[in-house]
Chains A and B, each alone.
Chain A
Amino acid sequence: MKIDIAVPSRLYHFRPNPLPVILVALMAIGLAVAMVRFASGIGAISNLSNTYPWGFWISFDIYTGIAISSGAFLLAAAVYIFEIRSLRPLLMPTILTALLGYFMEVLALMVDLGRPERIFNMLFYQNFTSWMLVVGLCVMIYLAILAVEIAPIFLRGLKQDKWAHFARRFIKPAVILGVVVSTIHQGSLGALLLIQSAKLHPLWWTPLLPVMFFVSSISIGLAMVIFESSMTSRYFKSHHLEIKLLAKVAGAIPYAVGIYAVLRFAQLFLSGNSQYLFSSGLMSVLFWVEIVIGVVVPFILFISPRNRADPRTLLIGAIILLVGMVLNRFNVSWFGIHRLQEVGYVPSLAEISISLAIFSFGILAFGLGARYLPLFEDSDAIAERA
């Protein structure tokens, strides 16, 4: 049978472009470095040590990667649970991003785990006091859920409209389960750090870490939707920018970062840890940088409707928010953790090359998805076919 993959002509025509070549080259380098790791151990390519058991991979690929995948559950909830149908055009690109994001995390784990071949031990030997088990199971379950959520589009890309229609039936239950699993997953990354109360600096450690992680993941997800739509509309010339929708999304950001800031500072003052706000040297500086660029600047930028209607300000504001919130993830999982031995850690080039390779894979896969799947169908077209 001939499978005819339709490429809507209005979408995108490949111009001669160096980007895919660079991405494939980065992937090849990363693959070679990974081979060295599998042959001779994590120590052969990384600067990780018994003092720094977790480093760049965990902070970047896992903590950052999962945080920026949160747009999918937010939009899926908005569209399928709260029936905010106008947001539909933004939904599928975001779900594809999350699916790729979670898959990228699995790739990163294959390098970072000491015994990747035993990953499924998490299904056979389960210790239900372990947040690491929760994190692992959430990744597995949510990957399956995202696959269900994207199935209709994928099947339509293959011209299997009957099956696409069939797959649509499972979307609502999948979305509900997906929101619950995502909530737990975002929170569980914070909960992983609960057990490090003697190590993580009190500017970050609080019993409310899971709540902080969940609340901050909301603003990260909203900013990612803006960032991603802005970038795809630049790269895929014919995909026009849904500026009205993005302005709507941006309108939620002041609330999201506002609630987060109130929680952070209320917790610090009520616990008495506000004493460290200005007295902990580098830790205080990191805290304030994180708060100013992750919370204060985005709040000021996005509170004004005029800024929200301007594509440039939208994109810049989203990037500023993401940088600040990503710094938060680095602070809690790396910079803010006290070490017993005075050993330094700077990630090696090989470590970074692994993350770059995985990142390149994600961008390339998204590009292919955007080219071959009806990702950017507007809401009317989807409603008609349904």
Chain B
Amino acid sequence: MATIQQHAYLFDATRCIDCRACMIACSVENSVPMNDSYIWVTGSAVMGEYPDLRRATMPYHCMHCLEPDCVSACPVGAWSKREDGPVLYDEDKCIGCRYCMNACPFSVPHFDWDKGLFGGALMHKCTMCVQRLEVGQEPACVQTCPTEALKFGEREALIAEAHSRIAAHPERYIDHVYGELENGGTSYLILSHVPFGELGLPDVGVTPVKNVSEAAMRATIPLALGWGAVLTGVTVGMELNKQRKDKAGKEEPAEVEAAAGGKR
């Protein structure tokens, strides 16, 4: 297996049978309880009107954005993006502010609501099974999937494959690869036969949501320095003005006295 530059998943909703083997595999591989695994299944409701009923499901987990908003948002830099794909977490830095949960447009990071001061509450999310990548294996969910609804590999190659699947069966798919451009591009690519909203995916633009936030941040230091300079200027100006008035106030009576003395 050639070295992969940018790891990614491809999920094909037409192949998913909602067996949840991915959740079990994830739970076992990462030693997390089933009800708290890094994967949760979305979109399982029956949609449409009889007789045109349809049901679509998706294992929802971290999108591993190319430009992750959690990395931008974290005050202490607990989140980081590894060059070959995974978005990772440093549990020693996290202060538990949960801003990443708000910042993530896909609402992925989860928090330990049941851990107190001594339990050590932390954030949790999919790690792309980095421990398996190190030894040349695929993530546990992908390896377990019985219908090849999940595939893992080089991002560019998977995007090409997704488009060729659509081209081969245009009647089967919506002509869009979710994640190719969404939020600046993600490493979880999704093909679907139902609108992506029905899979629980948000409607996000192609620019990462962090861009406006970071632009505002860049403007802040010059603005703050300018504002500080203006205020200092006003303060000094008012002070000098007051001193001049005081001085004038003191000199005036003296002049009057002198003038009066001259007359005498």
Which A residues have a C-beta under 8 Å from some C-beta of B? 37-44, 48-51, 53-54, 77, 80-83, 113-119, 121-122, 124-134, 136, 172, 176-177, 179-180, 183-184, 191-192, 194-199, 207, 210, 337, 339-341
Contact = CB atoms under 8 A, between A and B. Distances in A.
28 contacts: A38-B116, A38-B117, A39-B116, A40-B114, A41-B113, A42-B111, A42-B113, A51-B107, A53-B101, A82-B234, A113-B95, A114-B97, A114-B111, A114-B112, A115-B94, A115-B95, A116-B96, A124-B76, A127-B74, A128-B217, A129-B73, A131-B217, A132-B99, A134-B220, A176-B232, A180-B227, A194-B212, A340-B107
Contacts of A197: 205, 209, 212
Contacts of A118: 93-96
B63 to A, nearest CB: 13
A196 B114 contact: no
Interface in B211-250: 212-217, 220, 224, 227-228, 231-232, 234-235, 238, 242
A180 to B, nearest CB: 5
Contact of A132 (B93, B97, B209): B97
Given A39-B117, A114-B121, A130-B77, 6 more contacts: A39-B118, A49-B113, A113-B95, A133-B76, A191-B216, A340-B107
Nearest to A183: B227
B58 interface: no
Given A41-B112, A132-B75, A176 B235 contact: yes
A50 B110 contact: yes
Contact of B75 (A41, A43, A133): A133
Contacts of B224: 180, 183-184
A121 B102 CA distance: 20
Given A48-B113, A127-B75, A177-B228, A192 B238 contact: no
B111 A50 contact: yes
A131 B213 contact: yes
A41 B76 contact: no
A228 to B, nearest CB: 25
Contacts of B114: 40-41, 43-44
Contacts of A136: 75
A114 B109 CA distance: 14
Interface residues of B, number: 57
Contacts of B96: 113-116, 118
Residue in B94, B107, B200, B234 with the greatest tally of chain A CB atoms within 10 Å: B107
A173 to B, nearest CB: 9
Given A37-B116, A125-B76, A191 B97 contact: no
Given A37-B116, A131-B213, A198-B209, A122 B95 contact: yes
B81 interface: no
What are the nearest 9 A-B pairs in CB distance?
A114-B96, A43-B113, A133-B75, A53-B101, A127-B77, A132-B75, A115-B96, A194-B213, A114-B121
A198 B102 CA distance: 10
A207 B212 CA distance: 7
A197 B211 CA distance: 10
B238 A81 contact: yes
Contacts of A37: 116
B24 interface: no
A54 B98 CA distance: 8
Contacts of A127: 72, 74-77
Residue in B95, B217, B238 with the greatest tally of chain A CB atoms within 10 Å: B95
Contacts, number: 179
A339 B107 CA distance: 8
B253 interface: no
B105 interface: yes
Residue in B74, B113, B209, B228 with the greatest tally of chain A CB atoms within 10 Å: B113
A150 to B, nearest CB: 19
B204 interface: yes
B203 interface: yes
Given A77-B231, A114-B97, A199 B102 contact: yes
B73 to A, nearest CB: 6
Contacts of B122: 114
B102 A53 contact: yes
A41 B115 contact: yes
Given A195-B69, A195-B73, A198-B105, A114 B227 contact: no
Residue in B119, B202, B235 with the greatest tally of chain A CB atoms within 10 Å: B235
A180 B97 contact: no
A192 B214 CA distance: 11
B210 interface: yes
A52 to B, nearest CB: 9
Contact of A196 (B117, B209, B216, B227): B209
Contacts of B191: none
A264 B210 CA distance: 23
Contacts of B97: 113-114, 132
B140 interface: no
Given A118-B95, A198-B202, A132 B216 contact: no
B103 interface: yes
Contacts of A43: 113-114
A341 B76 CA distance: 28
A114 B74 contact: no
B145 to A, nearest CB: 23
Contacts of A172: 235
